[in-house]
Amino acid sequence: MARSRKPSAYARAGVDIAAQERGLAEVRKLARGTFGPAVLSEIGSFGGLFRPDLTGLAEPVLVASADGVGTKLAVARMADDFSTVGRDLVNHCVNDILVQGAVPLFFLDYVGAGVLDADRLVELVRGVAAGCRENGCALLGGETAEMPGFYQPGDYELVGFIVGLADRGALLDGSRVRAGDLLLGFPSAGLHTNGYSLARQVFFETMGLGLRDRIPGDPERRRVGDWLLAPHLSYLAPLRPLLSHPGLHALAHITGGGLTDNLPRVLPRGLAAEIRFGSWEVPAPYRVLQERGDIELEEMLRVFNMGIGMVAVVAPDAMRELSRGLAAAGQRIHPIGTVREGEGGVVYDLGLTEGALEGGP
């Protein structure tokens, strides 16, 4: 039978399989660069194989989370730079399981596009692979979908999925939190992956700024694009050595919302978090967003992380030792408040002149 072929009918429908294959070969190479001895398969089989090291675990528990990058992707597209969002995604997922006491085993990604540019795919996955390597986690697999007409040309969707491991007895679930515990805030690098719809509206529409413009009034003279694309930080490295410390009572990842909605997720009934607003310096870009966007402080605290990407809930008598451990790992921290008796939620102490602001889940 003749081997001549018509131009691929599938290509005519908008899917160029050959171009996809070239990109996928590079993607597989990037993924292999994250493989340790626990990975049994190469990418390309139907699923990835991972043999977890269960040594020393009395009762192994898998901890899993799925996340997207959200409309930070729209900023990446504006900036014509998808090199950073992969790291955002991995670090976000790593933090989500870290706060349960788990360390990452492996990660899978999903990239969706209308028309998949092979170079863009590689740029995206290079960031994912870098994030995986930095967190000691295997990029075990992924899916790439070309969906003509579904995504707008130039847009890319990026979704991630992480699986980590913890011993059941060492899980962090908030149950150890007590009145009198101290709240330690870990600085964020910016918005991380949260609040981008609103931030874009204020910066680009209300204020008419461009990515290359400096944020007005920012003493650090950051450009809008640089600040918005600053990658989500992973807090695994400084926290990993402390996960089994009995004085570390809980961790809250400040994402998908601000302190107001995230801290209560680790507070047992009958307890509230009291945050001393002003105990850390809210970075200037948030103040710009608040003022120029005409957003009330309550809303700011509900939507944005306000410069705090992670909160550790710490027993008072362990404070010194844990602080030293974090400092030794190069992690800056701010004591931002305490746990007290109360009806859930977060109470913001705004100082003598302003009174208190209550928020709840």
Positions in 107-166 near a second copy (CB under 8 A): 108-110, 112, 140-143, 145-150, 152, 155, 157, 159, 161-164
Q: Is 189 in the site for a second copy (CB under 8 A)?
A: no
3-state secondary structure of 250: strand
Q: Which of residues 197-226 bind a second copy (CB under 8 A)?
A: 197-198, 200-201
| Closer residue to a second copy (CB): 112 or 335 | 112
71: contact with a second copy by CB under 8 A: yes
From 96, 311, 322, 338, residue interacting with a second copy (rule: CB under 8 A): 96
H/E element, 310? strand 308-314
Token pair of 115 as six digits: 């028309």
Binding mask 335-354 for a second copy (x = CB under 8 A): ---------------x---x
CB of 63 to a second copy, least distance (A): 5
**x/- site string to a second copy, residues 48 to 67, per CB under 8 A?**
xxxxx-x----xxxxxxxxx
HEC-encoded secondary structure of 1-41: CCCCCCCCHHHHCCCCHHHHHHHHHHHHHHHHCCCCCCECC
Q: In what order do the strands lie in the sheet with 308-314?
A: 248-253, 308-314, 182-187, 334-341, 271-276, 346-349, 356-359
Alpha carbons within 13 A on the beta-carbon side of 59: 4
CA dist 310 and 69 (Å) reads 18
Interaction between residue 90 and a second copy (CB under 8 A): no
- Torsion-angle region of 33 (φ positive above 0: left; ψ -120 to 50: alpha; else: beta): alpha
Residues paired with residue 144 on neighbouring β-strands, in sequence order: 111
User: Least separation, in Å, of the C-beta of 227 and a second copy?
Assistant: 18
Cβ proximity to a second copy, 151 vs 323, nearer residue: 151
Which residues in 7-46 contact a second copy (CB under 8 A)?
8-10, 12-15, 40-41, 44-46
Binding segment (CB under 8 A) for a second copy, from list 168-176, 212-220, 235-243, 309-317: 168-176
| Total chain residues near a second copy (CB under 8 A) | 91
What does the DSSP 8-state code read for residue 231?
P
